[in-house]
Structure 1
Amino acid sequence: MTFNKQSNFYEKVLDKEEIFNGKVFSVEKAKVELMDGSISSREMVFHHGGACILAIDADRNIYLVKQYRISVKQDLLEIPAGKLEKGEDHFSCAKRELYEELGMTAKNWSLLSEFFPTPGYCSERIKIYLARNLTIGENKLDPGEFLEVKKIHLTEALKMIKNKQIVDSKTMIAILLADQILREDENIFEQ
């Protein structure tokens, strides 16, 4: 039974079948009994999860990557992010991706938030980290990974969200959260 102890809502899984099992995710089709006793079906994607990083310097510049995303057939501006490798925790994934995509390390890390991008059918959980006091080096991209690093002031990034130039959800969430945190604590870079 899928049950959230904080909720009175539930669905009881009566039967399930694996449809696909790949490197990144698997897909199941399930027959479920709803709270009212009716029967329905669910198609679910099970994903290991991921981490993303808003790297920000003391001048409030953030570092984004521009890359082509075949699923939406366009280039997107995104914060660095990656999928969890087997046995890897979210924070280790974030540090690895910051180094691979931007060639950076950070002295100070904060967990900004975590979210489910598409909970209607997918289990993926993404944790968003704020990386500060950056050391910049040379990126170490994975084979087959092509991207361009963009340094953009936080104020400009906020305008880009409003103007629909930044449309990636994890990036929008991270930028908006970071802006709120910086409004509340202007001395965050001195910590």
Structure 2
Amino acid sequence: MKNPWTTISKKEVYDNPWIKVEEHQVITPTNKQGIYGKVSFKNLAIGILPLDENEYTWLVGQYRYTLDEYTWEIPMGGGPADQTSLESAQRELKEETGLLANEWTEILKIHTSNSVTDEVGYVYMARDLTQGETEFDDTEDLKIRHLPFKEAYEMVLNGQITDAISMAAILKTSILLKK
């Protein structure tokens, strides 16, 4: 489909090692002048749903500064441009849970908030797992839960898990497990 938007100009208004924010002067699809703010992430969003032979998974709990609340999520992080999404997923799983996986399946490509950002995320299911040591980042104070996948699914349904990537990964995995 042809893009109905016309970009008149773009201006960078903020830049740091993780994001860039631009203000665009535009003509909207209804032919009106307007502005559009765009947030570009400098890393891919990476999520991993580890699943063992007994259909148990791992969740990561942490205090999220931007939300000012504690959350439970699947292991996740940023994927630098010099790594493939799979390499980033393997690194993140090891860092946050200590797990190594022999089997990796990409289960999702997701746009996290396509109204204001061009961020793309990739989610992998990791299986055939071996437990090792975690390697938390300096900024991480994580709690790890090993629980039945069904319980993680219930946490999505009852609102205990609200992270969009985690919710999408858990809901899709529940469908894949029923096949």
**TM-score of the superposition, structure 1-length normalised?**
0.89
Which residue is equivalent to 2:37? 43
**Aligned counterpart in structure 2 of residue 175 of structure 1, from 166, 170, 177:** 170
Superposed displacement of residue 144, structure 1 = 2.1
Report whether the alignment pairs 1:14 with 2:8: yes
Distance 1:53 1:151 in 2: 14
Which residue is equivalent to 1:160? 155
Superposed displacement of residue 156, structure 1 = 1.1
**Aligned counterpart in structure 2 of residue 96 of structure 1, from 91, 94, 97:** 91
**Aligned counterpart in structure 1 of residue 146 of structure 2, from 146, 151, 172:** 151
**Aligned counterpart in structure 1 of residue 59 of structure 2, from 51, 56, 64:** 64
Which residue is equivalent to 2:105? 110
Distance 1:61 1:71 in 2: 29
Which residue is equivalent to 2:17? 23
Choose 26-35 or 124-133, whichever is displaced more.
26-35
Report whether the alignment pairs 1:84 with 2:79: yes
Distance 2:17 2:83 in 1: 15
Aligned partners of 1:62 and 1:151 also within 8 Å:
yes
SS state of the match for residue 172, structure 1? helix
Distance 1:61 1:26 in 2: 38
Which residue is equivalent to 2:50? 55
Choose 149-158 or 52-61, whichever is displaced more.
149-158
Q: Deviations over 1:63-114 (max 9, x none)?
A: 0100000111111001111112242221111011001111111010000011
Aligned partners of 1:106 and 1:134 also within 8 Å:
yes
Residue pairs, 1:124-143, within 5 angstroms: 124-143=119-138
SS state of the match for residue 112, structure 1? strand
Which residue is equivalent to 2:68? 73
Choose 152-161 or 59-68, whichever is displaced more.
152-161
Superposed displacement of residue 40, structure 1 = 1.2
Q: Which runs of 4+ in 1 moved over 6 A?
A: none
Superposed displacement of residue 157, structure 1 = 1.2
Number of residues paired by the alignment? Answer: 178
Superposed displacement of residue 141, structure 1 = 0.7
Measured on the aligned residues, the alpha-carbon RMSD in Å equals 1.1
Letter in 2 for 1:42: Y
